Structure 1
Amino acid sequence: MSGRTKIPLSLNYFKFRSYILVEIFKVALPNFLDDGLWAFSSSFINGILLVTMGEIGPVLYSASNKLKNLLSSPIKGYGRALMSVIGHLFGAHEFDELNEMYKYALKVSVITTVVVMVGFIILRDYAFSFFSITGMQTEIFWIAILGTVIMISIPFSIISSKMLDGFGKSMYSLLFTCIKIGLETSLIYVLNIVLSDGSCVLIGITVTEIIFAIVYYLFLRYLFKDFDREYENKDVVKTFKLLQVH
């Protein structure tokens, strides 16, 4: 509105470029489908909990998810901030800086998560009381303990996923999400047969998050090693000139 910008916001500067739309959808579509896939996973888990714990099971799971979203919001913020910076560095072929920024973001995210989860463990009963869940101290205790393991694993998935978005490789995130949901639901199903109680959900989610924290980290390490060879003699970002309107 002030006019003090390097990129004027005017339709006069818009020129249709099909490859730009393709690049946008390569990032947007996987993220859109990702939410839909997790909705399917939640429906499956709610069904298991309803059978094993009764009506309180889905209520406890829903409350846990809401608290998880709240507690992981700093990590999501780091990821969104990181994504735009990563796009610039990737286009400039600054792969060493990408590597350093990835490790730095992970360190900050894990430290933040540990601090947040210490507070949550102390205030766990108070937090669940907001959802009118009382008299379940044992269940809430194990949710807090294994939830801490889950939360420390989550930064590896979120930060790595946003790195892939910055690289324009969001399809990998979608592929990992499909495999992750398949593994999670399979584990929960098998554990439900073995244990026949609601703990199968918490254990299944915990194991899956740990596995995919490792998978995401190793995959990003592989990409960093591969970038120099792949883009050594190739322009990564297509450039175009804006036509000035006088």
Structure 2
Amino acid sequence: MSEEVEKGKNSNIDLLLGDSHVAIRKLAWPMMVSMFLIMAYNLADSIWVAGLGSEPLAAIGFITPLFMIVVGLGNGIGAGANSLIARCIGARDKEKADNAGLHSILITVIVSILFSIILCILLPFILQIMGAGSATQQALQYGYIVFIFLVVFIFSSVATSLLRSEGDVNRAMYVMAATAILNIVLDPIFIYIFHLGVAGAAIATVISSFLSCAILIYWIWIKRDTYLDLGKSHFHYETSILKDILIVAVPSTAENLIFSILGIIENYLLVIVAGTVAVATYTAGMRLVQMAMIPLMGLGTALLTVAGAAYGGHDSEKLEDAFRYTLKIGTLISIIMIILLYVFAPQVSLIFSYSSASAGLSAKIIVMLRILCVFIVGVNFGMMSAMVFQGVGKGFTSLVLTTIRALLMEVLFSYIFGVVMGMGEIGIYYGVVCGVCLGAVISYIWAELYIKKLKKVYPPQNVEPLTE
């Protein structure tokens, strides 16, 4: 292997084990770009489909929570692998790090096959429960195509997580850039030129994901210039490694499942109080809010990696410092995003209301954005707290906090404001804001108490030096 490649590998590891502020900044910005590209990748479908009218857009909205389960599977397995590998790097155990990466690939293949079969069989029934109604057939067209090729989405997510776990965030960004650009280009071709409608959007999405998989396979198994060596000779099945990955992966996947269930419930409540047009509005508006949350997602993923390495090295002070520093940056970014969304709501709403068929959504999206933008600051505290627990391998705690924040608080307040108090879709938006903010306070307090307890176990003066 060339000296230049070896130097690149070591610089990534040195970054993880060095100053936490520098690591957070250098890891976060490529992750932010990657998250933006992932969101643009998903957003492209909705933007182009919006030109077909509110019903096709609603069809995408009904599939979106289910697709987030797919994303959640990949993110969950990736988070489990990221957490364990980062801890192994912190403990200077490369052999176990390699083996952990291979175990995560094995899990990916098995899970992809199982869930592809399950979702394709149950999709009509699920859409019926969700109240898709007249949008069902178009939702099926989109959903079947996406779920048959489930493996490309999950593998892409897991493989990029492996790159991030070793500090190689730039190439994770590059592969997402190629995928997002291809999807944006292919969407209008398949939707309008080939006249395939929502099915065309699904086909473009699948083809784009195949590209990302091809690039990742080349880097990992053909060029073989990653820090992790995922050759089959490094695979030795160990139940303990599988358990270490799953102890974060299962709760993390469950968290994404919770967000998908939350989306399904919110859609159902919106159908009750305002019909499918409200679902189209929520689908469009929430994707715009999620775009504004991208910097927080990047910071959170960086925190997970740095926290894992700090925990593996028994450095509780570094873990606390990384958590506090990330929260400060996240709060500043949240305030900026809230201001931008509130002020420019009329302009950004045009993304989903550019055609005559969807022009009526603009006013509704503006109202929604100016209410929902506030919850970004709550997401900051809730997300960073959860990432600390995922980083140290306590996935169940992260799951509990997400359950409280999303399923308990958001659903409860949405139901009270929107249905019980008769405030309609506006009440549901206020409910989401109140729920996430209250849940964030609980999450933050829980994280602070855990770090205080951890400092007693690994006090700063007893930190073990990291030696080769």
Aligned to 1:238: none
Q: How far apart in 2 are the matches of 1:37 and 1:169? A: 17
Query: Secondary structure in 2 aligned to 1:195?
Result: coil
Aligned to 2:390: 165
- Aligned length, in residue pairs: 235
Residue 230 of structure 1 and its aligned partner are, at CA, apart by 4.0
Aligned to 2:327: 106
Q: 1:147 aligns with which of 372, 378, 391?
A: 372
Residue 103 of structure 1 and its aligned partner are, at CA, apart by 1.0
Q: 1:188 aligns with which of 403, 407, 414?
A: 414
Query: Residues 165-223 of structure 1: CA distance to partner in whole angstroms, max 9, x if unpaired?
Result: 11101111212222331232222222211124112211111111111110111011100
Residue 164 of structure 1 and its aligned partner are, at CA, apart by 1.0
Whether 2:278 is the aligned partner of 1:57: answer: yes
When normalised by structure 2's length, the TM-score is 0.47
Q: How far apart in 1 are the matches of 2:230 and 2:366? A: 52
CA RMSD of aligned residues (A): 2.5
Q: How far apart in 2 are the matches of 1:196 and 1:203? A: 9
Query: Secondary structure in 1 aligned to 2:421?
Result: helix
Query: Residues 41-99 of structure 1: CA distance to partner in whole angstroms, max 9, x if unpaired?
Result: 21221122122223321111111221122111111111112211111111222112211
Tell me the amino acid that sits aligned with residue 53 of structure 1: A
Q: 1:219 aligns with which of 442, 446, 450?
A: 446
When normalised by structure 1's length, the TM-score is 0.85
Whether 2:342 is the aligned partner of 1:121: answer: yes
Moved more, 132-141 or 206-215: 132-141
Q: How far apart in 1 are the matches of 2:347 and 2:386? A: 32
Residue 116 of structure 1 and its aligned partner are, at CA, apart by 2.5
Paired residues of 1:128 and 1:134 also in contact (CA < 8 A): no
Question: Per the alignment, do residues 8 and 197 of structure 1 end up closer, same or farther by CA in structure 2, a change over 3 Å counting?
Answer: closer
Tell me the amino acid that sits aligned with residue 152 of structure 1: V
Identity percentage of aligned residues = 22
- Higher relative CO (Cα under 8 Å, sequence separation at least 6) belongs to 1
Tell me the amino acid that sits aligned with residue 185 of structure 1: V
Question: Per the alignment, do residues 30 and 219 of structure 1 end up closer, same or farther by CA in structure 2, a change over 3 Å counting?
Answer: same
Q: How far apart in 2 are the matches of 1:129 and 1:142? A: 13
Whether 2:289 is the aligned partner of 1:45: answer: no
Moved more, 192-201 or 95-104: 192-201
Aligned to 2:300: 79
Q: 1:12 aligns with which of 206, 212, 233?
A: 233
Aligned to 1:237: none
Q: How far apart in 1 are the matches of 2:230 and 2:421? A: 60
Structure 1 unaligned segments of length 5 or more: list them: 233-246
Whether 2:277 is the aligned partner of 1:70: answer: no
Paired residues of 1:53 and 1:198 also in contact (CA < 8 A): yes
Whether 2:244 is the aligned partner of 1:23: answer: yes
Q: How far apart in 1 are the matches of 2:251 and 2:258? A: 10
Structure 2 unaligned segments of length 5 or more: list them: 10-226, 460-468
Q: How far apart in 1 are the matches of 2:336 and 2:318? A: 27
Query: Residues 108-155 of structure 1: CA distance to partner in whole angstroms, max 9, x if unpaired?
Result: 111112222322222211211211165677654543333232011111
